[in-house]
A and B are shown apart, each in its own frame.
Chain A
Amino acid sequence: MSAPRWLDRMPAWPLYLAVLVAFPLLVYPNEVLFRWTGISIGGQLTYIFIYAILALGLNVVVGYTGILHLGIAAFFGIGAYVTGILTVPAYPFGVGFVAALVLSTGAAALAGILLGAPTLRLRGDYVAIVTLGFGEVTRFTLRNLEEITAGTRGLNPVPPPQLPAFLEPPLRLLGITPDWSLDYRLFYFLALGLLLVVIWLLHNLEDSRLGRAWMAIREDELAAACMGINASRVKLSAFALGCGLAGMAGCLYATVLASTAGPDAFDFNRSVLMLCCIILGGLGSLRGTLLGVLLLIGFDNVVAPVLDGFIQASGISSGDNRFLTFSNWKLMIFGLALILMMRFRPEGLLPSRQIEAEMHTPQPLTEETA
């Protein structure tokens, strides 16, 4: 089974990029949509960009290298909280956005290395459990260390980045108010810009020596090791990069939200949701990951609330009937999507060619798989 024709015929990426850049600049579309749905699509797109960075990080670990990571939200949280501690007025550090971005990326990558170094040599299933356990430990620690993390309230306010003075005139020319709290489009372009950098980086890595080593390990770790790849080091590098990107996304998240949110924003469900995104889109595929994030996060943040609003407005539900609240069916829809995908299109919507071939080759009858 190859990808359906309409997916092959999708237009090239410059078109999407042009739409994404033009959408907020034209002001009008976003306002019409806002009047219609009560949701700022542009504002939500900012979050979708952030989650795309998170999902791309997860894709490095799960998609490229084949390590099942069930705790990516913990590294997202580490990024957010490092940013919070470094920037919030309650702490004396007060560093700028760029420094916070670099440091939280680094901290998350370091945490990934500390967790990965002793555990990545374990069997695949066990690594999944270790990451899951680490995710929960991180969440409980964030909640319990109230003196440092302010418990369930989270750290705030995280200040917005300092806008360089030379950027102000061109921004005004584009009709953007150079004030982070007044105009969502500053965060929008910041997140989009960082996302593009990440995509560019990963696109180049895919065909690099390191990227090929990751995929070789995914396909067959033993064979890769026999070809002279230092498996543990290569796996660790993927883990560190993936966790680092998650930390970067976390920093951006905290900055846009102006708060680290509570520890429960970084729970297992968040990790699984990101995993669903990359599985739905196509493991190991950049385009697939982006599509998966757009579909699932878009569904979660935009479609579900909009439908809820419509149901409320139409008067079918008086608001207290839980069967008629659309959000109460969300998990069901996610779950069914996962089950049906695995059954009928396990390689995802926009798969990478290798994974597609792999998913449709019957497993050889070895002792491990029989």
Chain B
Amino acid sequence: MFPVLLAAAEAPDAWQTFLQYTLIGLSNGALFALVALGYTMVYGIIELINFAHGEVFMLGSFLALALIGVMGLEEAALWQRWLGIGLLFVVVPIFCGALNVGIDLAVYKPLRDAPKLAPLVSAIGVSFVLMNVGLLWGGAADRHFPDLVSRENLLGSEAALSFTYKDLMIVAVTVPIMIALSVFVKGTRLGKAMRATAQDPLAAKLMGINADRVISVTFAIGGALAGAAAVIYGLYINTVSYQMGFTNGLYAFTAAVLGGIGNIPGAVLGGLVIGLARAFGSGYVGERWTSALVFVILIAILVFRPAGLLGTHAREKV
């Protein structure tokens, strides 16, 4: 990656801007992808659009903010800081995973046999409740999230292209997580059970798979990914608010649908595409049109390729 970037640093201007946007897009996209994975995995297993997922993400960033205050990381020495950030990446995902599992057990599980609309509406309800928790916890105003990771450019302060420690952090966290996730889903027994349940829940149950456990694990993993994304988001964007779950959740959900909902690599691809679309949109069309652009892309994809980019076209069965 580095040689390419360094070469680009000497390339003509248009190329440089283009590459810069690409970089921003990819790092933002990786963030969306992490959140999108939670949507897509839950949908893959129980066909539920988990509207509360974005709010789990939001509460994760609030917890991270509170923990930074408790540990006093802003004044700490550099090595303590890194240790603290490492700790955040452990504690917050555990919290979000547990929260997500708890929501499933308390709210969605009793509705497994109900018509599809019931859990969907409940999910909207949960999202309202969690948003209110965020409002009471953090207040209505935007809150500053300490700028713990340096903005220093890794390519040297003179370089025209910027790739900061923050960008590096995103890559360093998301790539291993995604590799671990695909190893888990492809290689372990539980992952296999998960894929089987997603493919055909009834047949999976008949084969002796404990569907409840698979569903809980799915919610736990989805929540944990959102937790990791929440820490990254806070450290990268440096502003959190109780409404961030809604907007970012919507982008992430768009990413999941874009890649083909229920499809794990699809969510990653969708996240990256959404990130790039937003970056190029801001750069070439104008900041204020980016959100509209994302949703126009979403509608277009759904109309012309309803199964998403990587999804296989499955006819609804009769």
Q: How far is the CB of A192 from chain B (nearest CB, A)?
A: 30
A129→B253 contact, CB < 8 A? yes
Q: Which of B7-15, B74-82, B117-125, B272-280 contacts A (4 or more CB under 8 A)?
A: B117-125
| B contact residues around A133 at 8 Å (CB) | 254, 295-296, 298-299
Which residues does chain A contribute within 8 Å of B122, judged by CB atoms? Answer: 338-339, 342-343
- Chain A, residues 52-88, CB within 8 Å of chain B (1/0): the string is 0000000000000000100000000000000000000
Q: A126-B257, A367-B202, A368-B317 are in contact. Are A331 and B292 (CB under 8 A)?
A: no
Of residues 179 through 221 on chain A, the ones whose CB sits less than 8 Å from some CB of chain B are none
Chain B residues with CB below 8 A from A367, complex form: 200, 202, 317
| B302: A residues at CB distance < 8 A | 119, 122, 126, 129-130
Complex contact B132–A331 (CB within 8 A): yes
Binds A, one of B25-33, B133-141, B230-238: B133-141
Contact A136 B250 (CB under 8 A): yes
Whether A346 touches B114, Cβ cut-off 8 Å, given contacts A129-B253, A141-B292, A222-B318, is yes
Name which residue of chain B comes closest to A133, CB basis.
B295
Given A137-B296, A331-B129, A359-B114, A126 and B120 touching (CB < 8 A)? no
Encoded as 1 (CB less than 8 Å from any A CB) or 0, chain B from 241 to 264 comes to 000001000100110010001000
B136 with A342: CB separation less than 8 A: no
Q: What residue of chain A has the Cβ atom nearest to residue B316's Cβ?
A: A123
- The prevalent SS among residues of A at the interface is helix
What total count of A-B pairs have CB within 8 Å? 144
Residue B240 at the chain A interface, CB threshold 8 Å: no
A346→B250 CA distance, assembly (Å): 26
- Shortest distance between the CB of B92 and any CB in chain A (Å): 23
A338 to B132: give the CA distance in the assembly, Å: 14
Residue pair B118, A342 in contact (C-beta under 8 Å): yes
B125 near A336: Cβ-Cβ < 8 Å: yes
A9-B242 Cα distance, complex, nearest whole Å: 44
Instruction: With CB as the reference atom, state the residue of chain B lying closest to A366.
Output: B317
Contact, CB under 8 Å: B125 / A342: yes
The 8 Å CB contact of A363, one of B113, B121, B129, is B113
CB distance from A113 to the nearest CB of B (A): 15
B303 contacts chain A at the CB level, 8 A cutoff: yes
Q: Which residues of chain A come closer than 8 Å to B125, judged between CB atoms?
A: 334-339, 342
Q: Give CA–CA (A216, B185) in the complex, Å.
A: 41
User: Closest residue to B134 on the A side, CB-wise?
Assistant: A331
Give the docked Cα–Cα distance between A362 and B130 (Å): 30
Least Cβ–Cβ distance between A135 and chain B, in angstroms = 9
For chain B, give the interface size range: 35 or more
Cβ of A141 to closest chain B Cβ, rounded Å: 6
A137 to B110, CA, bound (A): 35
Chain B min CB distance to A250 (Å): 20
Instruction: Determine if A323 is an interface residue (Cβ-Cβ < 8 Å).
Output: yes
Chain A residue, CB-CB nearest to B298: A133
Report the bound CA distance from A141 to B290 in whole Å: 11
Question: Once bound together, how far apart are the Cα atoms of A136 and B246, in whole Å?
Answer: 12
Please state if B132 and A342 are interface contacts (CB–CB under 8 Å): no
A363 to B306, CA, bound (A): 26
Q: Is the CB of A129 within 8 A of B291?
A: no
Q: Is A331 in contact with B135, judged by CB distance below 8 angstroms? A: yes
Please give, as numbers and ranges, the residues of chain A lying within 8 Å of B129 by CB-CB distance. Answer: 331-332, 335-336, 339
Minimal beta-carbon separation of A122 from chain B (angstroms): 5
Question: CB of A329 within 8 A of chain B?
Answer: yes
Partner among B121, B289, B296 whose Cβ is within 8 Å of the Cβ of A144? B289
A-contacting residues, B10-43, CB 8 Å: none
* 19 further interface pairs, Cβ-Cβ under 8 Å (given A129-B298, A338-B125, A346-B114): A68-B120, A118-B303, A125-B47, A125-B261, A126-B257, A130-B299, A130-B303, A133-B298, A133-B299, A140-B289, A268-B246, A322-B140, A329-B132, A335-B125, A338-B124, A339-B122, A343-B107, A346-B118, A369-B116
Sample (13) of A-B pairs whose CB atoms are under 8 Å apart: A119-B299, A125-B47, A130-B298, A137-B295, A143-B288, A272-B124, A276-B124, A332-B133, A335-B127, A335-B132, A339-B129, A359-B115, A363-B115
Residues of A within 8 A of B (CB): 68, 118-119, 122-126, 128-130, 132-134, 136-137, 140-141, 143-144, 222, 268, 272, 275-276, 279, 322-323, 328-332, 334-339, 341-343, 346, 358-359, 362-363, 365-370
